[in-house]
């Protein structure tokens, strides 16, 4: 079940932090590490800091974009040391661990996303996450070392996982159409939604304001399942047809 929870490190500068993160993960029983454009990897410094967690480094997936790192995920938890301009649903590390474990137990893929040492995650990256996680810290010195932040969340995942071992077995799996849409499906939906909104003149590409970010926040809050996703995509397709003056479903 813990294999369904991946740790994604975005644009890490220091290979030592990748090694430290791998060690923290292995200590807590996590094994899937995904690196988005690391500056220096593989590296001896990473292996030295991993001290015994080299297998995680050897098995790490290196990808070009956050989007690729999130393929297949239906829950994305992004970490941030600071408040951002558009407030997002927040979790503390304990709630994050509990949510990740509850959904991983149902067979879903979960991502915990960590940012760059100097700049964290961009607003755009954070808007791809369902929730933001803030580790309570001194407001005057709020950023933890990257590997230390991974340690805190990995520990909370383990704590929640241990508690789940004691609890009753999970209920039977719902049928596939009830399962939540994955991030890649959601991304295709957002592209389709944006195109349609531009087409009907609701979204001005010159002045997009925060419309797409707000819509991402709205849909991200309501776990959209596969059958609901087909309805939403169907509505967009029909809207586009009407906007183009093409024949559409209701022929009256
Ligand atoms: N200077 C950056 C901080 C980067 S710290 C900024 O202001 O955003 C590197 C990464 O560690 C962050 O992107 C985040 O993933 C994690 N991190 C550090 N401190 C954290 C905190 N207090 N809460 C949540 N994540 C934190």
Reported as a single tens digit per residue, the pLDDT across 117-149 is: 999 999 999 999 999 999 999 999 999 999 999
Separation of 83 CA from ligand 1 center, angstroms? 11
- 167: pLDDT confidence band, cut at 50, 70 and 90? confident
Give the pTM: 0.89
The predicted pLDDT at position 169 comes to: 67
Atom of ligand 1 minimally distant from the CA of 135: 23
**Residue ranges of domains in the chain:** 2-165, 176-243
Q: How many CB atoms lie within 10 A of CB 63?
A: 17
Q: Is the C-beta atom of 79 inside 6 A of ligand 1?
A: yes
Q: Is the C-beta atom of 5 inside 6 A of ligand 1?
A: no
CATH code given to domain 176-243: 1.10.8.590
Separation of 146 CA from ligand 1 center, angstroms? 7
H/E stretch holding 98 reads: helix 93-105
Atom of ligand 1 minimally distant from the CA of 118: 1
Calpha distance 155→169 (Å, rounded): 22
- 164: pLDDT confidence band, cut at 50, 70 and 90? very high
> Span 148-153, mean pLDDT?
98
Nearest CA owner, ligand 1 atom 21? 81
Is 80 exceeded by the pLDDT of residue 170?
A: no
Percent of all residues in the chain with a pLDDT value above 70, rounded to a whole number = 95
Task: Give how far Cα 159 sits from Cα of 30, 144, 150, 165, Å.
Answer: 12, 20, 14, 10
Q: Is the C-beta atom of 235 inside 6 A of ligand 1?
A: no
H/E stretch holding 46 reads: helix 44-50
CATH 3.30.420.480 at 2-165, yes or no: no
The predicted pLDDT at position 198 comes to: 96
Lowest mean pLDDT among 40-44, 69-73, 170-174: 170-174
Is 70 exceeded by the pLDDT of residue 171?
A: no
Atom of ligand 1 minimally distant from the CA of 114: 15
Q: How far apart are the first and last CA of the chain?
A: 52
Tell me the three-class secondary structure of 12-31, residue by residue. CCCHHHHHHHHHHHHHCCCC
Q: Is the C-beta atom of 121 inside 6 A of ligand 1?
A: yes
The predicted pLDDT at position 223 comes to: 85
Q: Encode pLDDT of 60-113 as tens digits.
A: 999 999 999 999 999 999 999 987 778 999 999 999 999 999 999 999 999 999
> Span 155-172, mean pLDDT?
86
Separation of 125 CA from ligand 1 center, angstroms? 13
Q: Is the C-beta atom of 135 inside 6 A of ligand 1?
A: yes
Please provide the DSSP assignment of 224-238 as one string: -BHHHHHHHHHHHHH
Nearest CA owner, ligand 1 atom 26? 81
């Amino acid at each position: 079940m813990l294999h369904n929870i991946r740790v994604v490190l975005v644009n890490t500068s220091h290979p030592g932090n990748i090694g430290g993160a791998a060690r923290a993960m292995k200590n807590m029983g996590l094994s899937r590490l995904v690196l988005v454009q690391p500056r220096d990897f593989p590296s001896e410094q990473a292996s030295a800091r991993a001290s015994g967690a080299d297998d995680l480094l050897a098995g790490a997936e290196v990808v070009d974009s956050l989007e690729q790192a999130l393929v297949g995920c239906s829950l994305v938890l992004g970490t941030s040391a600071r408040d951002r301009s558009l407030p997002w649903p927040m979790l503390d590390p304990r709630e994050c661990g509990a949510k990740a474990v509850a959904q991983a137990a149902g067979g879903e893929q979960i991502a915990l996303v960590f940012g760059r040492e100097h700049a964290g995650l961009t607003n755009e990256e954070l808007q791809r996450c369902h929730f933001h996680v803030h580790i309570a810290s001194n407001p005057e010195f709020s950023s933890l070392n990257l590997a230390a932040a991974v340690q805190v969340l990995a520990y909370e995942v383990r704590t929640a996982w241990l508690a789940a071992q004691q609890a009753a077995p999970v209920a039977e799996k719902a049928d596939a159409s009830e399962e939540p849409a994955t991030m890649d499906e959601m991304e295709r939906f957002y592209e389709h939604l944006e195109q349609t909104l531009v087409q009907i003149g609701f979204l001005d590409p010159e002045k997009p304001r925060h419309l797409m970010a707000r819509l991402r926040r709205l849909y991200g809050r309501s776990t959209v399942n596969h059958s609901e996703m087909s309805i939403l995509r169907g509505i967009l397709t029909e809207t586009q047809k009407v906007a183009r003056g093409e024949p559409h479903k209701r022929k009256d």
